[in-house]
Structure 1
Amino acid sequence: MNEAKSFPLNAWYVAAWDHEVKHQLLPRRICEVAIVMYRRNDGGVAALEDACWHRLLPLSKGYLRDEEVVCGYHGLVFNAQGRCTEMPSQETLNPSACVRSFPVCERDRFVWIWMGNPALADTDLIPDLFQNSDSAWAGDGGVTYLKCDYRLLVDNLMDLTHETFVHSSSIGNRAVAEAPFTVSHTEDHARVTRWMIDIDPPPFFRAQLKEATKVDRWQVVTCYPPSTVTIDVGVAPTGTGAPEGDRSKGLTGFVIHTSTPETDRTTHYFWAFLRNYDLGSQRLTTEWREAARSIFGEDKDILEAQQVAVDEHPGREFYYLNIDGGAMWARRLIQKKIEQELGSSAQSQRVIPVKVSL
């Protein structure tokens, strides 16, 4: 792994929504590696490096024959494990003729891929996003292409005070920027918890409530490094017990954000917006999904503009405020994963483009 990389390879990243992968070739670049995915006959997913062993033509320029990939240049055939099974004009196969295959796992409507050492690909390390597939939750999501470092998105999500200014027409109001919050962390995650008591609901939740009322609002943001962030979010009429744990009178949502580096400066951003009430309402599912698409589109504009500014100011440090506590811990945990791959010599290396004072 190159020391300048901003992402660890020994980690699970979302390669696609499950519905995106069919019995046809799907190319995608992940962690600066071109891969091609497809469904095998048994329904499982194969993921190969998208470069033929012979002349490096992307295999995605070829086609599937049963469940093997035929190169579109000279017809070499590769199975789901990346082994060449047929060569043109010869019966003896070169034993070195293979392309790299990657561990994959389907879980919670996502296809996860491991880009690093296959021997370390422990599926127990995949973040638990059961809400995305559990019958007690309803919702949907999408994918957004970002022209920015994936860590800028993690920073954005770990500091939701930006809602007040970036999303004022939907989920933001002054209470988000003014409310106190707590930051906690373990070796595996960083978390920011914010309660806003007896406030006016923001526009999005006001539209969901059946009566005008003051609310208690919560946001519990958790980062599972390197790139998955979940937000437990909701509102309940003030005085109905939500801060004490009784959310039965309120509206609870769960937002999934998981970002997959395409390169150091581009990101596949997979997201879902889920709820645990009115489960049978397709109208509500569609409204929530499209509201999320619009909200995250506002983030896209901000993050891509920020990336341009970062590139124009090489070596410039970020200044940190109290509100950046969650983002700083998320960055520290990401950097730890990078350093584990680089080895002890990484302790003296600068692996984050914008320096972070911790």
Structure 2
Amino acid sequence: MFIKNAWYVAARPEEVMEKPLGRQICGEKMVFYRGKENKVYAVEDFCPHRGAPLSLGFVEDGNLVCGYHGLVMGCDGKTVAMPGQRVRGFPCNKSYSVVEKFGFIWVWPGDQSLASEDQLPELEWADNPEWAYGGGLFHINCDYRLMIDNLMDLTHETYVHSASIGQKEIDEAAPTTRVDGDHVITERHMENIYAPPFWQMALRGNNLADDVPVDRWQICHFFAPSNVHIEVGVAHAGKGGYQADPEHKVSSIVVDFITPETETSHWYFWGMARHFQPDNVELTGQIREGQGKIFSEDLDMLEQQQQNLLRYPDRKLLMLNIDAGGVQARKVIDRLISQEQVNEIAGKDHIPSVTLG
């Protein structure tokens, strides 16, 4: 089950250019394309004529043309034309609310009447010249909630990412978790340690010494429906840690937009927003490459974890103190899904009855 009345990152703008893009989100097959004035639209990826995927078609005069028999679909899901046929009475496709903002294409899988741009997340780093951003996209064959678990408990870094961001001091610093409405925060602070290789590279990129003790922080934020943003960084020890002045630290936000595809797969839009040396294009590329390698290490672990869970569906998993962030995030997801189901039933109950005859 998924939260439907929420914004999800559906694609990066460069994925939707001249050709349509087919993508499954929250169990629904959608096709994204650019119509008139370069605006992005989305409708069901299903031709009402013979069921062909509309994503295999093309765009003409701002409309989506089926690549099988030429049916022309409008941005509102209504059939506009078809060669040699009258289209009056053709069934409508479902259409979706779409917004292109912050360098992403967002889609609202649920009730369009509830969709508002005001409900998009606040991203302090987006469209801000004081920040630099670089990222990528993975398709991962596991439940999207397993990725949320992974990002809300960074203890795994010591073992999965031992050559880049992992270090034994992570195990030794107990995390704390708190909940503020639909927002879950898990944080860990480490003092007077040496930076692991990835952060040594970042220190050098900001013209700071990389061979002296540092204070390190990890502050994980879960936001519904399935976004995790992690404040990370290191500062030269004794300069204030997280609160240190910019000249003594390197700080970033690990950006994770986790978009469910099916019950056992998701789209993972990952990146890092950097609040130092924003104009350094070479550094942005180095960080993107390093981060891509780090996240690819998670991929195999998560996919094999999913297979184990499918193989042993009745085995109960342990819930430890380090799991608190993921546990609380799942509680938020479950609560919001339940609320949607209640609201949907209530809406059906209030539909006025009509007596025929």
Q: TM-score, normalised by structure 1?
A: 0.91
Q: Which ranges of 4 or more aligned residues in structure 1 deviate by more than 4 Å?
A: none
**C-alpha deviation, 1:71, in angstroms:** 1.6
Deviations 1:140-196, CA, capped at 9 Å, x for gaps = 100001010000000000000111111110011011111132211111210011110
Note the 1:118-133 alignment, pairs <5 A. 118-133=112-127
Aligned to 2:185: 191
Separation of aligned partners in 1, 2:247 and 2:174: 24
Percent of residue pairs identical = 42
**C-alpha deviation, 1:345, in angstroms:** 11
Output the aligned Cα RMSD. 1.7
Aligned to 2:56: 61
Aligned to 2:314: 315
Between stretches 227-236 and 80-89, larger displacement belongs to 80-89
The answer to whether residue 18 in structure 2 is matched with residue 19 in structure 1 is no
Aligned to 1:117: 111
Separation of aligned partners in 1, 2:59 and 2:243: 56
Aligned to 1:105: 99
Unaligned runs of 5+ in 2: 346-357
Separation of aligned partners in 1, 2:343 and 2:40: 36
Separation of aligned partners in 2, 1:14 and 1:325: 26
Separation of aligned partners in 1, 2:276 and 2:242: 19
Equivalent pair of 1:228/1:259 in contact (CA under 8 Å) = yes
Between stretches 92-101 and 319-328, larger displacement belongs to 92-101
Unaligned runs of 5+ in 1: 347-358
**Aligned AA for 1:222?**
H
Aligned to 1:355: none
Note the 1:260-279 alignment, pairs <5 A. 260-279=259-278
Q: TM-score, normalised by structure 2?
A: 0.91
Change (3 A) 1:26 1:250: same
Between stretches 291-300 and 177-186, larger displacement belongs to 177-186
Deviations 1:284-316, CA, capped at 9 Å, x for gaps = 111100111100001101101100110011122
Separation of aligned partners in 2, 1:49 and 1:344: 24
Equivalent pair of 1:190/1:223 in contact (CA under 8 Å) = yes
1:83 to 78, 87, 111: 78
Aligned to 2:226: 227
Note the 1:297-316 alignment, pairs <5 A. 297-316=296-315
Separation of aligned partners in 2, 1:35 and 1:204: 38
Aligned to 1:146: 140
Between stretches 246-255 and 218-227, larger displacement belongs to 246-255
**C-alpha deviation, 1:243, in angstroms:** 4.3
Between stretches 330-339 and 35-44, larger displacement belongs to 35-44
**C-alpha deviation, 1:28, in angstroms:** 1.0
1:74 to 49, 69, 76: 69
The secondary structure found in structure 2 opposite 1:201 is coil
Aligned to 2:216: 217
**C-alpha deviation, 1:207, in angstroms:** 2.5
Separation of aligned partners in 2, 1:270 and 1:26: 16
Separation of aligned partners in 1, 2:224 and 2:202: 32
Aligned to 1:181: 175
**Aligned AA for 1:163?**
E
**C-alpha deviation, 1:344, in angstroms:** 8.6
Separation of aligned partners in 1, 2:277 and 2:166: 24
The answer to whether residue 46 in structure 2 is matched with residue 51 in structure 1 is yes
